[in-house]
Amino acid sequence: MTTALITGATSGIGRAMAVALSDAGYDVYALGRSKSALEDLRAGRPKITPIAVDVTDRDGIEAVVSDLHVDVLINNAGIMPPLGNFADMKIADIDATLEVNLSAAILLTRLIVPQMRDRGAGHILFTGSSAAHTAFPNIAVYSAAKAAISGFAASLRTDLSQYGIRVTEIVPGRVETQLYKDILGAEARAAMYAGNIAVQPEDVAKMVVALLDLPAWSDVTRFDIMPTRPTTPSGSK
């Protein structure tokens, strides 16, 4: 496998995976909304091709991927809505959370899967969350979207394994990313990551490179990566 397409590649886990896979010899298509962040990612990395597109732009996404050869698809893009009780959640935030974290990943996978099936090879990864598997307060819709991704990945694997296509769910606990930057102040975020106890994006990226290096007959169906030391309950990716 030589090419990888990664969504949400402008920061955090997505950016770390783009760098790590580029360093490992992959040609990387890095998708994200920020042109400047993508250009910064590409600087000095000729194997990275930046593609500025919103994953919720269905026509734009279809146009982008129609001519791409993709061996590894990493559905990583995600957002965290404002924290709070579900009863007070804005409908617009519900819609956005489901569209970015769930619907966009399903659509992109549908666009890429046929070419993998025709070749009889491929690997699809989803950045999930520990919030899909453990109940936390104030993130009900985020948890629902990530739980749906988990279920989709498991069922997708049963559809595609006969064609030699592998499917992996990545389940991070607290990772020090920008996920909360629009919904928590700097002081609150600093407190969340105090003590250097959070998993780093590069840690997740190293795991991804390692599992992609496994022989084709081995499929890591899910891997959980958590901080060694305990964190407070709101600490999911």
Structure tokens at 200: 């780093």
Query: Among candidates 29, 26, 31, which has minimal Cα distance to 2?
Result: 26
Strand 3-6, strand 72-75: pairing: parallel
Residues facing residue 27 across a β-bridge = 3
Catalytic residue among 26, 29, 142, 180: 142
- Rounded CA-CA distance 82/72 in Å is 32
- Rounded CA-CA distance 186/191 in Å is 9
Angstrom distances, CA of residue 166 to CA of 38, 103, 132: 28, 20, 21
Query: Among candidates 21, 127, 107, which has minimal Cα distance to 65?
Result: 107
Helix (H) or strand (E) holding 197: none
Structure tokens at 127: 């950045």
142 carries an active-site annotation: yes
- Rounded CA-CA distance 99/22 in Å is 28
Query: Among candidates 71, 74, 70, which has minimal Cα distance to 8?
Result: 74
- Rounded CA-CA distance 70/78 in Å is 21
Q: Hey, which residues are catalytic here? A: 142
